[in-house]
A = this chain, B = another copy of it.
Amino acid sequence: MSDHPSRYHHVLPEIVEQLASDKPFGAAKMQATRYSYADAMLELGERNPDVVVLDADVSKSMRTNDFAKRFPERSFNFGIAEQNMMAAAAGMATTGLIPFASTYAVFASLRALDQVRNSIHYPRLNVKIAASHSGITPGPDGVTHQGQEDLSLLRAIANSTVVAPADPVSAKLAVHAAAAYDGPVYLSFTRDPVPTIYSPDFPLRLGRAVVVRDGWDATIIALRDLVAHALVAAARLAEAGLEVRVIDCHTLKPLDVECVLRAAHETGAIVTAENNVIFGGLGSAVAEVLVENHPIPMQRIGVRDIFTESGPYLALLDKYGMSARHMAEAVRQVMARKRRA
């Protein structure tokens, strides 16, 4: 084996072992992180009587109906009325409740964005927005249900905290971290199952990116579902003798500037990877930090200026240039630019 297990941090050993194989996640426990959210809400509901869950007729799909069954008096289904749900959540938060407003990313970040901005973020009320179907993770549903730009939209709103956890373990931790934080948090979850890649010791702290693989030749900074694919890319590049750092940038905003700059200084070349448009999201955030502090070659992986389409989730990642092989190719390109510079 050409890869070094000791280079990985918080990644389950059985995952590390197979990363470079044909079926990198053959052994992984697969789960959609929307369900990790639902699980975490059950725990939170037990622990904190101020926690309430708001739905907009997708509680079956997000399994927040589990919370509704266990805590019926703290569960509110607004029907298909996302605007009302978001502004009502703000009103609830003024009384000390901690509302988790749950819907799909497209509806949270588009249909109700005015309420999200003016009623929640402007007065900085303690509302958590739980968005499933982020990125093009609801493959077969097609464009209208694919939150391909939600991270960019939420990052543009002042006072926002935007969190996009990579796997079921970190997703649950992110929910608890959001609940503990006083202020609005946008939580981005996947519709499709993603591999469980982390051990329970994953140190999720809002605003602190995590180096999940060491490396010195280049860095891939990824978030949400693309972290797993970044690990695969790194493992394959390791077989070719390249040591690539992988950073799980679960908190897109506030960005962990220190971690990004350390990677810039120590590896000299960066690839960003997000299942999100390449306008205004992770790639932009990292580019901003680089040009303002330490300009080095960088390349973005993400959805280009296009609406995608229906199809199986992984096939879409591949068709739209976001799979491990695209990341590996991008790493080679930024490294070539680094050498030329």
Q: Cβ of A149: which chain B residues have Cβ within 8 Å of it?
A: 117, 156-158
Question: A117-130 interface mask toward B, CB cutoff 8 Å, 1 = contact, 0 = none?
Answer: 11001100000000
Q: How many residues of A contact B (CB 8 A)?
A: 50
A288 in contact (CB, < 8 A): yes
In the assembly, how many copies of this chain are there?
A: 2
Of residues 169 through 208 on chain A, the ones whose CB sits less than 8 Å from some CB of chain B are none
CB distance from A291 to the nearest CB of B (A): 4
**Cβ contact within 8 Å between B280 and A156:** yes
Question: Given A280-B152, A284-B288, A114 and B106 touching (CB < 8 A)?
Answer: yes
In the assembled complex, the Cα of A239 lies from the Cα of B286 at a distance in Å of 35
Question: Given A144-B122, A152-B152, A158 and B288 touching (CB < 8 A)?
Answer: no
In the assembled complex, the Cα of A312 lies from the Cα of B107 at a distance in Å of 35
CB distance from A155 to the nearest CB of B (A): 5
CB distance from A88 to the nearest CB of B (A): 17
Question: Given A122-B144, A153-B153, A156-B149, A296 and B291 touching (CB < 8 A)?
Answer: yes
A89 in contact (CB, < 8 A): no
A278: which of B111, B160, B288, B300 is its contact (CB, 8 Å)? B288
A42 in contact (CB, < 8 A): no
A292 in contact (CB, < 8 A): yes
A158: which of B148, B155, B281, B287 is its contact (CB, 8 Å)? B148
Q: Cβ of A306: which chain B residues have Cβ within 8 Å of it?
A: 158-159
**Cβ contact within 8 Å between A159 and B117:** no
A300: which of B283, B288, B299, B341 is its contact (CB, 8 Å)? B288
